[in-house]
Structure 1
Amino acid sequence: MTTLFQAPGACSLAPLIALHIAEIAHDTVNVDLRAHKLADGGDYFAINPKGAVPALKVDDGEVLTENAVLLQYIADQAPASDLIPVSGLERYRQLELLNYIATEVHKGFGPLFNPATLPEARQTANDALGKKFTFLATKLQSNGFLAGAKLTAADAYFFTVLRWTDMFKIDLSPWPAIVAYRQRVASQPSVVAALKEEGLGG
């Protein structure tokens, strides 16, 4: 059985959404990221030495980490789901989006999660994220989702990190396409199911 190690509210929501889109049977295990402990008291470092979520234990017992990799792995287990195209330039365009979200958007929130970050640095981080949102909004002007008319791995990831704007009180109104997009993704049955399983709701 595929097992996802997750923390509610963390970036592990992205592969959880992907597992629902792909209709892959799975278990989830919550991780206390402060203590790096599992619910049963087990040492999470023994599963993922990086100490972060997500981690995905696959059927043969191997453990994979890093969101962009997990999303590719899940997509490849269920090619009919169209999470990521199986070949051709469109596959690389999707991977391009995944890596942009991972390295520019996801990591762009890093200073905001650090309580020691000074107000000026927080504003700089907010401004930088705004530029990333402006770029991604252009992808939505003619498409319902980032890569076309269907929910993909890139949407699972971008939607997940977009939810952090609530935590940090980032106003998305300058990007109406993103506001509408977030609502559109949140209403997808696979996303509703993943949010319910995560335990935090929409």
Structure 2
Amino acid sequence: MKLYFMPGACSLAPHIALREAGLRFSLVEVDYRSKRTSDGRDFHEINPKGYVPALELNGGDLLTEVPVILTYIDEISGQKALLPRRGSDRLIALEWLNYIATEIHKSFSPLFRPRTPTAFLAPGRAHLSRRLDFVERHLQHREYLLGPGFSLPDIYLFTVFRWLDDQELSPTDWPALQRHSEAIAARQSVKDALEQESLAANFAHRRRMDHPRRHVRRRHGRIRSPGPD
């Protein structure tokens, strides 16, 4: 399998999951500005959507979208189950994957776009904060999103929570989320993925250095970044 990624982007979630599952795969980096791969190809010819992640399967098929790729990784992970196998527990796990994708991940997107009107930024951050408040309450008395057991939604949540410093929001405002993120960061699969993508391991050291796009622009007197798609 081959994972197309951008350092620090949402593709970090399937990267971690592949390592967690112990699966064999290769990585191909995609440049944000040129949309060319590290081996010189036009990424749009590989994935017409033009954004990561994209997972090329051994048979040549291409999977896109984080929840779909994560679910596929679980399906081929063998004995190392990264999602509940059946019943209501599995449905709850899929609910979390979709909540993170649609309510948290996508809440970052307009905040990162350089053409977003300045008047939208404060309401956008407030909207994102309310979505994080919901997860904060859920995690106050739980170690992981599904309770005592680590699962794929934890990886996805960790990935997007890392973007918080780029939005003038402090992780310390969500102590349960910060505790959760630190616990995920301590896993060997996460350490290895962060090292492979040349990303800092924690908020204190990362600040704006390993933002998903690594490209910043000054807009209205402050650093702005293109951010996640």
Q: Same fold (TM over 0.5)?
A: yes
Question: Is the 2:44–2:50 contact (alpha carbons within 8 Å) kept by the matching residues of 1?
Answer: yes
Please report how far the alpha carbon of residue 136 of structure 1 lies from its aligned counterpart in structure 2 after TM superposition.
0.7
* Structure 1: gaps (5+ residues): none
Q: Aligned partner of 2:55: which letter?
A: L
* Structure 2: gaps (5+ residues): 202-229
Tell me the SS of whatever aligns to 1:45. Answer: helix
Question: Is the 1:79–1:86 contact (alpha carbons within 8 Å) kept by the matching residues of 2?
Answer: no
The answer for the alignment partner of 1:68 in structure 2 is: 67
Instruction: Please give the residue correspondences for 1:137-152 in structure 2 after superposition, counting only pairs within 5 Å.
Output: 137-152=136-151
Moved more, 50-59 or 181-190: 181-190
More helix by share: 1
CA 1:86–1:102 in 2, change beyond 3 Å: closer, same or farther? same
Question: Is the 1:36–1:45 contact (alpha carbons within 8 Å) kept by the matching residues of 2?
Answer: yes
The answer for the alignment partner of 1:19 in structure 2 is: 18
Q: For this pair of structures, how many residues does the alignment match?
A: 201
Instruction: Please give the residue correspondences for 1:8-157 in structure 2 after superposition, counting only pairs within 5 Å.
Output: 8-157=7-156
Deviations 1:98-145 (A, max 9, x none): 000000100000111111223331111110111111111122122211
Instruction: Please give the residue correspondences for 1:149-188 in structure 2 after superposition, counting only pairs within 5 Å.
Output: 149-188=148-187
Please report how far the alpha carbon of residue 42 of structure 1 lies from its aligned counterpart in structure 2 after TM superposition.
0.7
TM-score, with structure 2 as normaliser: 0.84
Q: Are residue 4 (structure 1) and residue 26 (structure 2) matched?
A: no
Deviations 1:3-53 (A, max 9, x none): 100000110000011101111111000001221101122111111000000
Q: Aligned partner of 1:152: which letter?
A: S
In structure 2, how many angstroms separate the alpha carbons of the residues matched to 1:117 and 1:45? 24
Q: Aligned partner of 1:172: which letter?
A: P
Question: Is the 2:28–2:39 contact (alpha carbons within 8 Å) kept by the matching residues of 1?
Answer: no
CA 1:151–1:120 in 2, change beyond 3 Å: closer, same or farther? same
Question: Is the 1:139–1:147 contact (alpha carbons within 8 Å) kept by the matching residues of 2?
Answer: no
Moved more, 166-175 or 153-162: 166-175
Please report how far the alpha carbon of residue 79 of structure 1 lies from its aligned counterpart in structure 2 after TM superposition.
4.3
Moved more, 173-182 or 5-14: 173-182
How much identity, in percent, do the aligned residues show?
Answer: 41
Q: What CA RMSD, in Å, does the superposition of the two structures yield over aligned residues?
A: 1.2
Question: Is the 2:125–2:167 contact (alpha carbons within 8 Å) kept by the matching residues of 1?
Answer: no
Q: Aligned partner of 1:123: which letter?
A: A
